Structure 1
Amino acid sequence: MTSIADQTIVITGATDGLGRALAHELAPLGPELVLHGRSEEKGQELLAELRAATGNERLSYERADFSSLAEIQSLADRLLSRPRIDVLVNNAGMGVELDRRESRDGLELTFQVDYLSTYILSCRLAPLLVDSAPARIVNVTSAGQAPIDFDDVMLRSGWSGGQAYCQAKLAQIMLTMDLADVLDGTGVTVNSLHPASYMPTKIVTHLFTPQSTVAEGVRNTARLVTDPEYARNSGLYVNRSQVARAHAQAHDEGARARLRRLSEELTGTPMPAVNADASPR
C-alpha cells in the first residue's frame, strides 16, 4: 500500500463543509491534495489556509461548476493529465432544495450535481486510478435514499426536494456497486458512505437542525480514505462506521442497468470496461 504521504488525493466540493474539514484532516499527513470547488476566490483562500496551518505545499485547486456537464468533463480532462491519482473522493453535492432548478444542460440540478458529476469523474478517471493502483474511489452519499422513478427522473411531473436529493444519493450507491464489479481485480476499490446525520453545514442548516458534528463526518470519511480495510473491500455502503444495506433498488440489477444506460445517454460517458488482464480501456 502506498504511503499516504506519497499519494495524490482528489476531493470535490472541498471549499465548504465536510470537504473543507477533510482537507484539513489530510493535509498534515503530507499527500498531494487536489481540491475542487466552484469559486476561485474560496479555493485560493483554502490553499493559503492549509499551507499556513500545515506547511504542506503539495496543494492545488481546480475550479469547476458542476451545474455544467462541460465543466465536469473539462475537470476530468485536467485531472487525467496528472501522472497519478490514488484516491478520488466524490464529495461535492447539494442538499434538499425548496424549488426545482435545472442545470445549464436542462437537467434537474440535484441529479446532475450530486450524481452525474460522480458518474463522469469516476468513469473518466478509472484508467488513471488503475494505473496508480492500489487506489480508491470514495463516494460521499447519504442514509436518505429513495428509489429512482425512471419515468420521471428529472421530476418534471411532481417536484420534491427530498425525492431529488434521496434518489441522487441512491444513484451514487448504485454506481458504487457497478464500478466495484467493473474494477474488481484491478487494485481499485469503490465504496460509498453516509458520513454522519445532519452535520452543521450550509446544505443542512437552511432546513434542518444539526444532529452530528462535522468532526464525526470527517472521521468516518477519512477512514475510507486511509484504512487498509477499504483497500481490500469494495462495493460497500457504510453508514457512519458500520457496513450497512442500502435501499433495495441498489440491489436490483435491472434498475442498475437502466441507470447505467441513462447515465451514458445524459453524459456521453460510458462505463469503463475491463479486459482479461483487468485493465480498463
Structure 2
Amino acid sequence: MRLKSTLLAVVATIAVVGQGAVAQGARGASGVDPKARVILITGSTDGLGREVARRAAATGAHVIVHGRNRERGLAVVEEIKSAGKGSAAFYPADLASLANVRAFADTILRHYPRIDVLVNNAGVWLREGPRQTSADGYEMTFAVNYLAGYLLTKMLLPRVMASAPSRIINVASQTQSPIDFTDVLQERTYAGQRAYSQSKLAQVMYTFDLARELEGKRVTVVALHPATLMDTHLVEAAGMSPRSTVDEGATALMHLIMDVNITHGAFYRGTIAGRANPQAYDEGARAQLKAVSEKLIGGK
C-alpha cells in the first residue's frame, strides 16, 4: 500500500508540471487531447527512449515517460513542453520489482482510457561482475529486460486491445543466445553477456507468441534490434565502444511506431524484417518460456 501511495503522490506532482505540454483543444478526463495517440515508452529518461519520446511527441502524440529517476523524467517532460508540440507526463517505476511493475500498470490504467502504442524499451546490460538479483530474487537481467515487460504487457493488454488499431513494440537485440530451460535464472553458472543475450531472445520469443495470440485483433506486435552498440550510457557502462548512434536507433523505432506497412509478428533489424535466433521459431521452447514466465510472476 505504501508503494502505491508513493507512486500516486509523485504522479500527482508530475501531472501538474506536465499539463502545460498538452496540445490545444478539448481534453479528456486524463487531461490529454483525445485526438492524440497515447504512446507509453519504458526507459525513456535517457538514451534511445528519451530521443524517441521527443520524436513521438513531435508528431502530436501524448507520451508517457517512464524511468526510475524523477529528475530525469521531469526534464524529458519539460523538453517536450518547451518544443511546443505534443504532450507528456512522467510516471516512475523500478522494473526490478514486480510489485512496482504492477503498481505502475495499475496507475497507467487509472489515468489513461487508451494506450495506442506500448514500447517495452527499458533494459540493463550487466556485462561484467557477479550475478545480481532483483527485488524478487530473480537474476537481474532476465527480470528487468524480459520479465518486467512480460508482466507489464499482460496487465495493459486489454487496454491496448480496446485502443485498436494499436501496437506493441519490444526493443530487443540481434545479440541472442538460446535459453537453457534447466537454468533460466543462471543459478548454477552465470555469465553477464549470456544473461543479456538470453533475455533479448526471450523478448523475441514472447513477441512471436503474442503476435499469434493477437492475429486479426488489429494489434500489431513486433520486436526490434534498433542499431548495434548505440552511443548510450548503457553501452558505455558495459565497457563497449559505440558502433552506431542513438539517432539511427531512434529512426528505426519511430519507423515501427509510425509506419502503416510494418509486418505483424516480425523481428526487425533496423527498418527491415529479419531472422531471429532459431530457438525463437521453436514452438516447444516458446511454450516452455511462457510456463516459466507465468510461474515467476505468479503471486508477485
Structure-1-length-normalised TM-score? 0.91
| Aligned equivalents of 1:60, 1:163: Cα separation in 2 | 35
> Where do 1:35-184 residues align within 5 Å?
35-52=65-82, 54-56=83-85, 58-81=87-110, 82-99=112-129, 100-184=131-215
Contact 1:5 1:32 (8 Å CA) reproduced = no
Separation (CA, whole Å) in 2 of partners of 1:95 and 1:236: 24
| Amino acid paired to 1:49 | E
State the shift of 1:57 in Å: 5.9
The corresponding residue for 1:238 is: 268
Q: Write out the 4+ residue segments of structure 1 that deviate beyond 2 Å after TM superposition.
A: none
User: What's the CA shift for 1:5?
Assistant: 6.1
CA shift, 1:122, in A, is 1.3
Residue pair 1:5, 1:30 contacting (<8 A) in 2 also: no
Report Cα offsets for 1:238-280 as digits up to 9, x if no partner: 01121111001100101000100110110128xxxxxxxxxxx
AA aligned opposite 1:108? E
RMSD of aligned residue pairs (Cα, Å): 1.4
Aligned residues: 263
CA distance in 2, matches of 1:24, 1:58: 10
Instruction: Calculate the TM-score normalised by the size of structure 2.
Output: 0.85
Letter in 2 for 1:39: N
Q: 5+ unaligned residues in a row in structure 1: which ranges? A: 270-281
Counterpart contact for 1:96–1:203, Cα < 8 Å? no
In structure 1, how many angstroms separate the alpha carbons of the residues matched to 2:274 and 2:155? Answer: 28
Alignment pair present for 1:259 and 2:289: yes
Partner SS state of residue 215, structure 1: helix
Residue 259 of structure 2 corresponds to 227
Identity %: 44
Which residue identity lines up with residue 217 of structure 1 in the other structure?
A: G
Q: In structure 2, what is the equivalent of residue 199 of structure 1?
A: 230
Residue pair 2:224, 2:269 contacting (<8 A) in 1 also: yes
Structure 2 match to 1:218: 250
Deviations 1:112-133 (Å, cap 9, x if unpaired)?
1000111011111111111100
Which one scores higher on RCO, CA 8 angstroms, separation ≥ 6? Answer: 1
**Separation in 1, partners of 2:117, 2:298:** 24
